[in-house]
């Protein structure tokens, strides 16, 4: 790579960043994998010191993000969130009232906990109310997703970009933005956004049911049949696993019924007996071919027996949505071995409101897909949690123990106060809060590890050194001078507008944390070129990075509602564009008022 030695140091950084952005937009590889690969390349090129390559994983912003995620789960365990959400189940009024209330509550929760987590907790409640009030979920869910982004603007812990911006300010000004420094601007933006979504925004959305079970004509029972194993048949003595293999790829074994007993499919080594009934899912042609070839019998049970698998008490059908960071995201039923490893059957997939009636074993599942799965009632909830799927049925709100609720609020409030008054750095106070919550059994070690969004942790840990390389190589200064030169003959406010718009645009196509990492040094450089305060420009980055309203891939919250709301990619623009314009206008006014140039 000697040919690079004669080039300015920022050239390889620009090349790598261009590739990063292209791969982020392509979305073929996980964000964190792309970021780590870029980090390694820049180390090999000499733009990042090898000894500092993974220092980003110990960055205060990264530690704080992880701590906030664990604290959020602990508050859920304590019943704090359900105490807030319970009154929503009795809400009266039409679409406007529902949108306003749900969006406002999600925004409030998102100011202090993970945005996606706040949305995921309230989304099943909202869907249940939509069913009860005959309101299309598409009118409610996207405003809730956007509300989670607006709420994150209000505090330093509301969203990872705020923490990144705060810590970048500590590097250049020896003092980070405090926990509530974002609030004067963020609250006004959130109030304006929630009001717009509640009064006007929902009217710009299509009327779709979205849910696979009700809104789409898909009859799961139409694909199920019974096969009886005759006496002295060659399949007698075959194990369940062998029987599944004999059925082939076009027929899915759901379960085995033996007299009054149901044998779960995960008991793969149990041998078949004469008279066993195989519940299968299959197209008519494939089933006919199998029965004729293997000399089997259809419809093996008597008339006095129940005719549907759902009547078996310990079997449950669940409709769920795939979370953006779920283990099942990007996998297939075959690659995860869902039947034999997890004991569940995938019966249907809906993507962007359209059901897929093809064979499902090799369908690549993506975030936002709505699935119908079947499994043991006792274990299905735990399995879905492990796979990263959110059940869309009405979840039971916990009545909770008042002591645990107040203990959770008290511990979290203490951590916030310690940080807000400057007694302890925010990452230390929040880690201490996690330790105390674990010590009083508010959260287990298993739940704590599961609560952490490891992809975002790895993404941040890799992108922070990459962002530093952009700055140290002179690349940020070059971009800043270019923008500053463009705005040099104009009032400095236009430089601020440019930074906000560029950050907003970037956050619509790449991860918002990555957008903040890249834009912080550029924004600081523009402020330096224009010879004005850096604070308003950094605040513009924080706001712009969280305003990903134009696409379903701009933020995980947008992706999460895509399937349940039945949204298409194009549905985000009619609401997102005016909301983004509103947020941008309010942001510029409030930044200039609170953080003058």
Full set of structural domains in the chain with CATH: 60-213+400-454 (no CATH), 220-307 (3.30.70.1450), 315-391 (3.30.70.1450)
Measured between alpha carbons, how far is 319 from 332 in angstroms, rounded to an integer? Answer: 17
Q: Are 290 and 359 in contact (CB under 8 A)?
A: no
pLDDT value at residue 301: 44
Helices (H), 206-323: 212-215, 240-247, 284-294
Residue 352 has which token pair? 């962007």
301 near 257, Cβ under 8 Å?
yes
Report how far Cα 501 is from the mean position of its chain's Cα atoms.
24
Whether residue 274 contacts residue 231, with contact meaning beta carbons closer than 8 Å, is answered with yes
d(CA 587, CA 2): 47
- Take residue 334 and report the two structure tokens written for it: 């075959």
- What does each C-alpha distance from 39 to 27, 186, 581 come to in angstroms? 18, 33, 34
Which residues lie below 8 Å from residue 55, measured CB to CB, with a gap of 6+? 464, 465
pLDDT at 283: 65
Give me the pLDDT at residue 218, please. Answer: 41
Output the pLDDT for position 324. Answer: 80
Quick one: pLDDT at residue 284?
62
**Residue 265: CA count within 13 A, CB half-sphere:** 26
Helix, strand, or coil (residue 79): coil
Look-up: residue for tokens 């700055």? Answer: 471
Rounded Cα distance, 236 and 258, in Å: 13
pLDDT of residue 192: 97
Nearest to 276 by CA among 295, 302, 253, 257: 257
Q: What does each of the 597 residues of the chain score in pLDDT, given as a tens digit?
A: 555 556 778 888 889 989 988 888 787 788 889 999 999 999 998 899 998 889 999 999 999 999 999 998 898 888 887 777 777 767 777 889 889 999 999 999 999 988 888 888 888 888 888 877 888 888 999 999 999 999 999 999 999 999 999 999 998 888 899 989 999 999 999 999 999 999 999 999 988 754 444 433 344 444 566 788 888 888 888 888 888 888 877 777 777 888 767 787 777 788 888 888 887 776 666 777 777 788 776 654 443 444 444 444 566 778 888 888 788 888 888 788 887 788 887 877 877 656 555 556 677 888 888 887 878 777 888 888 888 888 876 555 555 567 788 898 899 999 999 988 889 999 999 999 999 999 998 999 988 988 888 888 998 999 999 999 998 888 888 888 888 777 667 788 999 999 999 999 988 888 888 899 999 999 999 999 888 999 999 999 999 999 989 988 778 898 888 888 888 888 999 999 999 999 999 999 999 999 998
**Contact yes or no for 53/39 (Cβ under 8 A):** yes
pLDDT on residue 214: 43
Distance CA 410, CA 430 (A): 13
DSSP state of 398: P
In whole angstroms, give the CA distance from residue 149 to residue 193. 10
pTM of the predicted model as reported, rounded to 2 decimal places: 0.78
The closest of 503, 500, 502, 498 to 586, measured between CA atoms, is 500
């Amino acid at each position: 790579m000697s040919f690079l030695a004669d080039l300015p140091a920022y050239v390889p950084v620009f090349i790598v960043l261009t590739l990063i952005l292209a791969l982020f937009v392509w979305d073929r590889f996980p964000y964190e994998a792309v970021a780590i690969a870029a980090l390694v390349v820049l180390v090999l090129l000499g733009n990042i010191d090898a000894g500092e390559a993974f220092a980003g994983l110990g960055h205060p912003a990264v530690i704080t993000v992880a701590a906030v995620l664990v604290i959020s789960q602990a508050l859920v365990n304590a019943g704090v969130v359900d105490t807030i959400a319970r009154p929503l189940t009795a809400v009266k009024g039409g679409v406007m009232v529902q949108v306003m209330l749900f969006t406002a509550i999600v925004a409030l929760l998102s100011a202090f906990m993970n945005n996606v987590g706040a949305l995921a907790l309230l989304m099943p409640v909202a869907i249940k109310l939509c069913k009860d009030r005959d309101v299309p979920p598409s009118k409610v869910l996207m405003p809730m997703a956007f509300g989670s982004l607006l709420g994150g603007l209000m505090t330093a812990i509301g969203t990872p970009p705020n923490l990144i911006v705060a810590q970048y300010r500590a590097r250049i000004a020896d003092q980070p933005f405090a926990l509530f420094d974002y609030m004067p601007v963020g609250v006004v933006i959130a109030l304006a956004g929630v009001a717009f979504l509640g009064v006007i925004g929902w009217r710009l959305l299509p009327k779709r049911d979205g849910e696979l079970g009700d809104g789409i004509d898909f009859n799961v029972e139409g694909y199920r049949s019974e096969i009886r194993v005759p006496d002295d048949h060659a399949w007698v003595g075959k194990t369940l696993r062998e029987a599944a293999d004999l059925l082939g790829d076009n027929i899915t074994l759901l379960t085995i019924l033996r007299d009054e007993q149901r044998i779960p499919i995960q008991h793969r080594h149990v041998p078949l007996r004469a008279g066993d009934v195989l519940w299968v899912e299959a197209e008519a042609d494939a089933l006919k071919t199998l029965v004729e070839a293997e000399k089997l019998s259809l419809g093996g049970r008597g008339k006095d027996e129940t005719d549907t698998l759902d009547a078996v008490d310990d079997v449950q059908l669940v409709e769920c949505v795939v979370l953006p960071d779920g283990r099942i995201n990007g996998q297939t039923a075959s690659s995860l071995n869902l039947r034999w490893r997890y004991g569940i059957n995938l019966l249907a997939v809906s993507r962007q409101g359209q059901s897929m009636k093809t064979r499902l074993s090799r369908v690549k599942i993506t975030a936002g897909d709505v699935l119908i799965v079947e499994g043991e009632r006792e274990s299905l909830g735990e399995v879905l949690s492990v796979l990263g799927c959110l059940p869309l049925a009405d979840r039971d709100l916990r009545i909770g123990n008042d002591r645990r609720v107040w203990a959770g609020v008290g511990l979290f409030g203490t951590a916030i106060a310690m940080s807000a008054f400057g007694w302890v750095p925010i990452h230390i106070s929040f880690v201490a809060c996690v330790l105390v919550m674990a010590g009083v059994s508010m959260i287990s070690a298993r739940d704590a590890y599961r609560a952490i969004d490891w992809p975002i942790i790895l993404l941040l840990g890799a992108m922070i050194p990459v962002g530093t390389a952009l700055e140290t190589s002179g690349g940020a200064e070059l971009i800043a001078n270019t923008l500053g030169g463009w705005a040099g003959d104009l009032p400095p406010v236009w430089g601020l507008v440019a930074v906000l718009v560029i950050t907003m645009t970037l956050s619509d196509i790449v991860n918002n944390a990555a957008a903040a990492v890249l834009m912080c040094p550029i924004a600081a450089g523009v402020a330096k070129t224009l010879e004005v305060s850096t604070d308003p420009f950094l605040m513009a980055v924080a706001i712009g990075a969280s305003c990903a309203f134009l696409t379903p891939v701009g933020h995980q919250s947008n992706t999460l509602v895509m399937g349940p709301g039945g949204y298409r990619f194009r549905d985000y623009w009619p609401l997102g564009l005016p909301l983004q314009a509103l947020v941008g206008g309010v942001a510029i006014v409030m930044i200039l008022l609170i953080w003058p140039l």
